[in-house]
Structures are given as structure tokens and as C-alpha cells.
Chain A
Amino acid sequence: MTTRNQDATPLTLAIPKGRLQERTEELLLSRGYEIRFKGRKLVAEDPGGRLQVMLVKNSDLPTYVHHGIAGLGVCGTDVIYENGYRFFRLMELPFGKTRMCLASRTDYRPDGDAHRLRVASKFTRFTHDYFQDRGIPCEIIRLDGSVELAPVLGLTPYIVDLVETGSTLKANDLKIVEELATVSVVLIANPAYYKFHYKSIDALVDTLR
């Protein structure tokens, strides 16, 4: 049996702007894929013509992969969860691991009469599912940035947010109440794209391991 339409065109990969971009480019470079975005261009191709890389906003990345604009993507499991799309998770990447935590002010003492948890988060789907699965009533207030301000300013006693070193929490006089999940950075694939290009993609994954 021969394989059709494999290797004819470069694989398409979306990578997120921000903290993961540099680490992803370093990983690719160490495996022989040199990606250089010229000027303000958001699409680049490695000189070998094997990989076309597009730079997108972190929270939009799953949408691009879901619609097949990019067949592959580098994305945190937190962002994938919030989008709710189904992808193949091909491998965990060796960077960006962090924790999803419930945090509060260090001096906060829970009110025994409180009937429900009040939580601020940008990870509303995760927060909802986490507490619902455990039968804990929870009121969620969505915030899009500087979530740690919510307990400081009195919006909610708790937040659910990513914690890497804990220094931001400490600086705002907050503490981890509970670690809810481990978040890692994974290489994802649109399932239909993977099925059509599985040989080239498996070869890429082997190279990245």
C-alpha cells in the first residue's frame, strides 16, 4: 500500500504568542526546525519546507486548530479545557508545566455559615466543573486579567488561577488553599488532520521527543 498526500505540503503548526512562544521556538530549533518571523509577520516556514508556523493569541489557538487552519498546535491543557474542543494530544512538551490552584488571602477565615464558594477566575469552565463534580456549590465571577486582585479588593474571597512559582500570590498576600490540577503544555492535533497526515506528524513527534 502506498501513502497518498503525505509530505507534499508542510505541516501547519500554531504556536501561542507570549511566554510559550520562545520556549517552543527553542525546542523546534534544537530539533532542526528554524522558525523566524520576519518583521511583524505572523506566519513563517522553516527553511526545509517541512513546517509552517503561525503565531496566534493563546486563547484563540484551539479555535484555529479546531477549524483546521492549523493542523497542529502548542497549547496549555488549561486553554484546551476552557475551549471544550476535542483534539488528539500527541505529546507533552518539556516546559510550561504549572498548577491550577484555589487561593485566598492569607488572613482569610471561611465563614461557617457561607452556603456557597465565591470564586473569581478566568478559567470558568474548569472551575464550574471542578466544584460541581465534587458537589460543592460555587458562584463564579469571570475576570480576564489580574485575578489575584479579586480577594485583595474584596470582590471574592477565593480565586482559581495558574500558579507557577507562587511569587505573585505572595506579593499580594495570598496563599494556596488547594492545588486543583496540574497543567501542562501539549502538542495537539486536529483529529481529521492527524488522520490524513499521520506519518509526517508521527515523524515530527518522534523528532521532538
Chain B
Amino acid sequence: MSNQQLRIPQGTEAFYLEEAYAHRELLRRFENICSSWGFLPVQTPVFDFHDLYRGLDDDVAKASYRLVDRDGEILVLRSDITLFLARQMGMIVQQHDLPVRVYYGDTILRHEDPNDLSKNEFFQIGAELIGTAGVEADAEIILLLLEAVDGLGAPSSILHVGSRALLRASSESNGFARAIEEREWDAAGRLLANDGADPQRIDSVIQLYRFIGPADELRELIVASAALRPAEHEALLHLLALTDELSAIGHEDRVRIDLSEVGDRDYYSGIVFHLYDEGTDAPVASGGRYDELLGRFGSNAPSIGFSLMLRRLQSRLPPGNLPQMPHIETADGGSFRDRVRNADLLRTQGKVVRL
């Protein structure tokens, strides 16, 4: 018992005072930005039936805590809000309600490797646009994400956007997505060869997925690429249209096309993206389009969203970018009643006052 008093279980955390203030303030900023964009809050349950999520995400499943309820049903604790939200939306959203814009911010519970406690995946925030497909919906979510991370104190972050639709058009082989994501070109080439691709196509496809850069350079690469499939062309044109839109709005230096971004979840179906920043050891945020996920839980609707781990972001923000505690004054007065009156007066002037 005494040993337990000195520890907290792996995968949980508590934080206090200045750190908790900064966390709440960052969350408040995020909520204010989402609200100003017409997104509404949504709350997901703490646990749900485990079998509903089977096969959707192996990494999340491995890190999830499970429990058994009194009726013997296996439950899973909330370890990824995106999935829990898709389940809620698939269950309740009616076609006439669409599109729906929602945001969330809540704790998640995941097992953390005791040898690698760096992930800080305790609090997930994000936003989803449900019921709209197309370039404008993709751009809306990306613009909201960029404004959100600016507001959270990471304005130098850069978005790398790719396409899961492109990947699906290139190969359905097991392991192809991971080979591309990890830029293992030899492995990717072998998988394409197993699919029956000839050397010229393998070369074209690998050159394509190596690409990181601006839209103009991608256009040149597409022209030079032999033997691309119609579905690959379509996915690339969608990406170009999206980046053209973002450039026209003034974000040309904030967004890179990166075709090795293929999404680390099988349920992604369109554009996918990660946000990177100087000095961070992992992406700041991630997201993508998932047009088939909600249908698994009921009513389908094309959807796109992003999420980020707020505690991880907070731990990596430069001190100057963290919200600072306001100066707290102490109310004057000989008696308690005087101090209450003086404090009330000072608070009407916007000051923070304790009794």
C-alpha cells in the first residue's frame, strides 16, 4: 500500500498549478477558435464495447485498456477520441443534419511503454467536419488546424499533406503503406514487383512517393512519370487543387506536398496530413479524410478531421509561448467584508484578486 502511495498507474497523469493553468488556457484558446469557426463541442463516452472497434486500428488496440462489465461484455476505455466520435456520429447523425462541424478535447487512456514515457498521450483535442467531401472541406479543416496551432503557440509548424487515395490506387499489398511511410524504397519496389509491376512503373511510382515539395514541382513530376494509373492521376489532381486553394489563401509557405504521407490508419480514404515543427521528435498533429468509417457504425457520411495531443504539444512549446499565470493581487481591507468589497471592485477592472 505504501508503495502504491508513491506511484500512479502507467498511462495516467496529474498536473497542478501553473502547468494545469497553461493546459486549461491552451484548451480554452482551442475551444474559442473552433467556436468562432462554427464548430460545436461534442463529448464522447469514457468506454464503449470493445468489439465495435475490432480491426480498425491495431496500434490503438494494443495500447487500449479493456475491462469486463457486470453482464460480461468486454469494454474498451477511450484511447482515441476520433474512433469513439465516429461511432457516436455514425449512430446518431441523420442525413438531413449534415454537414456537422464538431470539436472535442478530453482525456484518453493508453498504455505507455515504461521505457518510453515521452509520448504524453493523455489529452487529445481535435475537430471533424462530417458530411462534406471535396477540396473545400479538406481546405477548411487544414485552415482550422493551422489557425489552431498558431493560437496554441506553434506558428512555425509546417503541414505535409499526402493522399491515402493515391496509395490505394498504387497497391493494395500488405506492408506497402508502411514501406512508403517509412521511406523504405527497396521494400516498396519489391512489393510493387510482387503486384506484377514492370521496372518502368516501379521506377515511376517510387519517384512519385519520394516527392516532397511545392505544387509546381509535382506537376513537372507527373508529366515526366510514365505509366501512372487513372486513379493515381485523380488523387494527385485533388492534392494539387487543394494546395492551389491553400496557396491562394496565403499558406503557400506553410504547406508541402509529401507523397510519403499516406496515413497510419487503414480507414483513411483521401488526403492525409501531419504537422511538423522545429525541435519536436514527433508530429504535432495529424489527420485526414475517412469517407467510409462512419458507415461501419451506422449511417455513413464523408468526413475529415484532425487531432493533436495537447499535453505533448504543451511539453514541447518554448517557455515564452506557454500561457503565463496572471498576476494575482491580494484585496486590501481591515475586515473580511471590506476585502470582499474591494476585491469585487478590482475584478470589475479586469484584475485577478484573492481575498
**Chain B residue, CB-CB nearest to A90:** B183
Q: Which residues of A contact B252 (CB under 8 A)?
A: 1-2
Q: Smallest CB–CB gap between A9 and chain B, Å?
A: 8
Contacts of B283 in A (CB 8 A): 192, 195
Return chain A residues, CB-CB under 8 Å to B216.
1
B247 nearest CB neighbor, chain A only: A1
Contact with A along B198-220 (1 / 0, CB 8 A): 00000000000000111110000
Q: Is A115 an interface residue (CB 8 A)?
A: no
* Count of chain A residues near B, Cβ 8 A: 18
Question: Which B residues are within 8 Å of any A CB, using their own CB?
Answer: 116, 118, 156, 158, 160, 182-184, 212-216, 247, 252-256, 258, 274, 276-283
> Which residues of A pack against B, CB within 8 Å?
1-5, 66-68, 86, 88-89, 190-193, 195-196, 198
B277 touches A67 (CB 8 A): no
The docked-state distance in angstroms from the alpha carbon of A24 to that of B168 is 40
* A192 and B184 within 8 A (CB): no
Q: Are B253 and A5 interface neighbours, CB within 8 A?
A: no
* List of A residues within 8 angstroms of B183 by Cβ: 88-89
The distance in angstroms between the C-alpha atoms of A93 and B254, with both chains bound, is: 33
Q: List 10 A-B contacts (CB under 8 A).
A: A1-B215, A1-B255, A68-B280, A68-B281, A68-B282, A89-B184, A191-B182, A195-B160, A195-B274, A196-B277
Residue of A2, A67, A195 near B276 (CB, 8 A) is A195
Query: Could you say which residues of chain B place their CB within 8 Å of the CB of A192?
Result: 274, 276, 280-283
In angstroms, Cα B212 to Cα A5, docked, is 15
Q: Is the CB of A190 within 8 A of B184?
A: no
Q: A1-B256, A192-B274, A196-B158 are in contact. List 12 more A-B contacts (CB 8 A).
A: A1-B214, A1-B216, A2-B252, A4-B156, A5-B158, A68-B282, A88-B182, A88-B183, A89-B183, A192-B276, A193-B281, A196-B278
Q: Which residues of B contact A193 (CB under 8 A)?
A: 281
Bound Cα distance A195, B281 (Å):
11
- Chain A residue nearest to B217 (CB atoms) is A1
A37 to B156, CA, bound (A): 32
Question: Which chain A residues lie closer than 8 Å to B255 at the CB level?
Answer: 1
A89 neighbours in B (Cβ, 8 Å): 183-184
Which 9 pairs from chain A and chain B are nearest by CB?
A68-B281, A1-B214, A196-B276, A195-B276, A2-B253, A1-B252, A88-B183, A67-B281, A192-B282
Residue of B nearest to A89 (CB): B184
- Which of B182, B214, B281, B282 is packed against the most chain A CB atoms within 10 Å? B281
In the assembled complex, the Cα of A4 lies from the Cα of B158 at a distance in Å of 8
A66-B214 contact in complex given A5-B156, A196-B158, A196-B276, C-beta closer than 8 Å: no
Chain B: which residue is nearest A5 at the CB level? B278
| CA A196 to CA B256, docked complex, whole Å | 10
Nearest CB in chain B: distance from A53 CB, A: 18
> Do residues A66 and B281 form an inter-chain contact, with CB atoms below 8 A?
yes
Least CB separation from B210: chain A residue: A202
CA distance A1 to B257 in the complex (A): 11
> Taking the nearest CB of chain B, how far is it from the CB of A135, in angstroms?
20
A83 to chain B, nearest CB (A): 9
Q: CA–CA, A5 to B280, complex, Å?
A: 13
In the complex, what residue of chain B is closest to A9 when comparing beta carbons? B278
In the assembled complex, the Cα of A88 lies from the Cα of B255 at a distance in Å of: 21
Nearest Cβ in chain B — how far from A184, in angstroms? 12
In contact, B253 and A1 (Cβ under 8 angstroms): yes
A26 to B106 Cα, complex, angstroms = 51
Task: Write the chain A residue with the least CB distance to B157.
Answer: A196
Q: For the complex, what is the distance from the CA of A1 to the CA of B243, rounded to whole Å?
A: 11
Please indicate the chain B residues that have their CB under 8 angstroms from the CB of A191 in the complex: 182, 282
**What residues of A have a CB within 8 angstroms of the CB of B158 in the complex?**
4-5, 195-196
Using known A-B contacts A1-B247, A5-B156, A196-B158, determine if residue A68 contacts B279 with beta carbons closer than 8 Å: yes
A8–B278 CA distance with the chains assembled, in angstroms:
11
Name the contact of A4 in the complex, choosing from B182, B253, B280, B282 (C-beta under 8 A).
Answer: B253
Question: Could you tell me the distance in whole angstroms from the C-beta of B280 to the nearest C-beta in chain A?
Answer: 6
Q: Which residue of A is nearest B116, CB measured?
A: A66
Q: Separation in Å of the B283 CB from the closest CB of chain A?
A: 6
**Min CB–CB distance A6 → chain B (angstroms):** 10
A-side contacts of B247, CB under 8 Å: 1
Residues on A with beta carbons closer than 8 Å to the beta carbon of B281: 66-68, 190, 192-193
Nearest Cβ distance between residue B224 and chain A, in whole angstroms?
A: 19
B118 touches A198 (CB 8 A): no
Distance (whole angstroms) from the CB of A14 to the closest CB of chain B:
13
Q: Tell me the complex Cα distance, A40–B212, Å.
A: 40
Instruction: Tell me which residues across on chain A come within 8 A of B184, comparing CB atoms.
Output: 89
Cα(A191)–Cα(B282), bound, Å:
7
A40 to B160, CA, bound (A): 40
- The answer for the CA separation of A74 and B339 in the assembled complex, in Å, is 65
A113 to B314, CA, bound (A): 59
Measured CA separation A5–B254 after assembly (Å)? 11
| Complex interface: chain A residues within 8 A of B253 (CB) | 1-4
User: Cα distance A198–B216 when bound, in Å?
Assistant: 18
Residue numbers in B under 8 Å from A196 (CB-CB): 158, 276-278
